[in-house]
Amino acid sequence: MIAALGALSACAGQPQQYAPPTQSSKTVPAIYQAREDDGKEIKAINPAYLVERNRRQIVPYHGPEAVGTIVIDPYARFLYYITAPGKAERYGVAVGREGKGFAGTAEIKRKQEYPSWTPTQNMIKEDPDLYGPLKDGLPGGLDNPLGARALYLYKNGKDTYYRIHGTMDPSSIGRATSAGCIRLFNQDIIDLFNKVPLDTPVKVRNREESLEMEGPVVQLHSGYVVSAYNQVAINADEEAYKAGRIPDQSKVEQEQHQASVALAEQVGGSGENARSSVDCSYDGTGTCSDIGTMNN
């Protein structure tokens, strides 16, 4: 019922409705099939969203980081988990504006299954129609903006307010979002969550490092990025946009916001009893300005 609320947290951002990408799989790989998790049914990923850049896969890796490191490239929209010298498992990610607000090294100091979420006072102030009805929060679950799992990055013992988490909006993976940190398909965040221990080192690339390692990328009208040298994909996307097969994203965002406000009013207060520990939510300014909550 609350799909339109897909990523409302400071590490989540509103989901969008997109035209299906032109390059998609015909079948759903086993790793993206439906599954049961802690009594919850995680739906299979729509094959339309499983473009090649989004699929979890083993790839060559030539960066300087050590085995066991997570490397996040918010510009190319990849997350790498280095599994052996010269080799990594690559995940497609969605990136919000907060996903580019931190660069450098950190460590995973907290792991949470089905975290609850509460908007900050700053978020409520900026958009009272949307966040006001949700001031008491949303309980953890598949209808929660943070999805099935969350990994929390700390630097020098302090929370960076940078999160790697799941999503209730699989259509967003591979794209930019209006707000948020780094999100993965729920199947992928569960996989990563199970593989990485606490204290796993994380490297978040800046733009210069991304250009050096991945080369320049171009964002298509569809919202995906491709190599700036992939002229075939760029031309096909431009033709589809001119033909009206890809909607105007500004109108889509406006319609989605209106739908989210209506649904927020329906579910307002549902997270009232879900809170159990205090945490701070990143407000996009680099500071912990307001109190949010996550359950343990």
Report the CATH number that the domain containing residue 278 is assigned in CATH. Answer: 2.40.440.10
Distance CA 251, CA 241 (A): 14
Classify residue 161 by its DSSP letter. Answer: E
Question: Per DSSP, what are the bridge partners of residue 89?
Answer: 58, 81
Please give the single-letter amino acid code of residue 241: Y
> What pLDDT does residue 100 have?
74
Q: How far apart are CA 135 and CA 144, in angstroms?
A: 14
Task: Tell me the backbone φ, ψ of residue 19, rounded to 5 degrees.
Answer: -65, 140
CA distance 109 to 178: 27
Least confident range of 59-63, 111-115, 136-140, 217-221? 136-140
Quote the tokens at residue 249.
């994203």
11 is a catalytic site residue: no
Q: Among residues 165, 257, 280, 288, which one is catalytic?
A: 165
Does residue 256 have a pLDDT over 90? no
Strand ranges of the sheet holding 57-60, from the earlier edge strand across to the other edge: 57-60, 87-92, 78-84, 70-73, 201-204, 104-113, 149-155, 158-165, 182-183, 94-95
Catalytic residue from among 11, 62, 181, 257: 181
How would residue 136 be classed by pLDDT, with cut points 50, 70 and 90?
Answer: confident
Residue 165 among the catalytic residues: yes
Print the domain residue range for 164. Answer: 3-293
pLDDT band at 292 (very low <50, low <70, confident <90, very high): very low
pTM: 0.81
The residue whose two tokens read 């569960």 is 190
The confidence band for 30, taking pLDDT boundaries of 50, 70 and 90, is very high
Q: Give the pLDDT mean for 226-236.
A: 96
pLDDT band at 73 (very low <50, low <70, confident <90, very high): very high
Tally of structural domains, the chain: 1
